[in-house]
Amino acid sequence: MTITAAADGSALGNPGPAGWAWYVDDASWAAGGWKHATNNQGELKAVLELFRATKHIDDDLLVLCDSQYVINCVTKWMRGWKAKGWRKADGKPVMNVDILKEIDEEIVGRRYRFEWVKGHANHPLNEAADVRARGAAESFQRGAPVRSGPGYTASGTRSAAAAAAAAPHAASPAAPLTAPPAAPQSTPRFTHDELFSLDDADLGDANETIDDHQLGFDSRDSAELRSVSERQSVTLTLSAEDYSRLAQRAQVRGVSIEDCLRGLI
């Protein structure tokens, strides 16, 4: 049987308060974070903790990930970096090397495959991991306890496998488990040709400076919204889908929907 799980990370400010999470289903997930880290560190840590949590299970592992950086690190670049003493082609040290070394140890003897999924595109497992990773980052930002989750439970694997089979991004069971990920149909930052023509140092620098989990407006917009909120109330109309996602975020953080919305502004 195949364990299908999403792994995701979040950093508020990138770097800043950061979180990681992996998610199989509501009975099998985990999250954590740091007071200060990057989005890439959160993404890599989520993958590392997923491998650790499932190391005692003799099942194949399908990792759904919205980070091309993480997928390429593990499936394409890590072997070469290791052979060069964990240095890149330009001789500079590999970024996030401590986490990468730990991942390298955990994948020995494992049957696994990575699949890229587009972030914030309503993929149920990716969305669930994203909510928990961002919730952990927000908890560190507030100095509040982090909801760490139940960890891996075998009862979650069958329901997760059924959900993955019905999901639009489910992988073909005939695909080789250690093959590099298929080329994405679309990517939020680069075309496929651009991505694979970049030097690994350039790609790492680009990923370190981009936060996939920001809300899409700059600091001036934020200041204007805060200013407006101090003077008057604001009525917001949400679609049923947006309201459901907001409610899920609020539940993970343990706050009301209104307080969760205020925290996003």
Catalytic (active-site) positions: 8-9, 43, 66, 120, 130
Rounded CA gap, 188 and 16, in Å?
Answer: 22
Contacts of 67 (CB under 8 A, 6+ apart): 8, 9, 40, 43, 207, 212
Rounded CA gap, 53 and 47, in Å?
Answer: 10
Strands of the 60-65 sheet, one edge to the other: 28-37, 16-25, 2-11, 60-65, 112-116
Cα→Cα distances 34→23, 66, 95, 145, Å: 19, 21, 17, 12
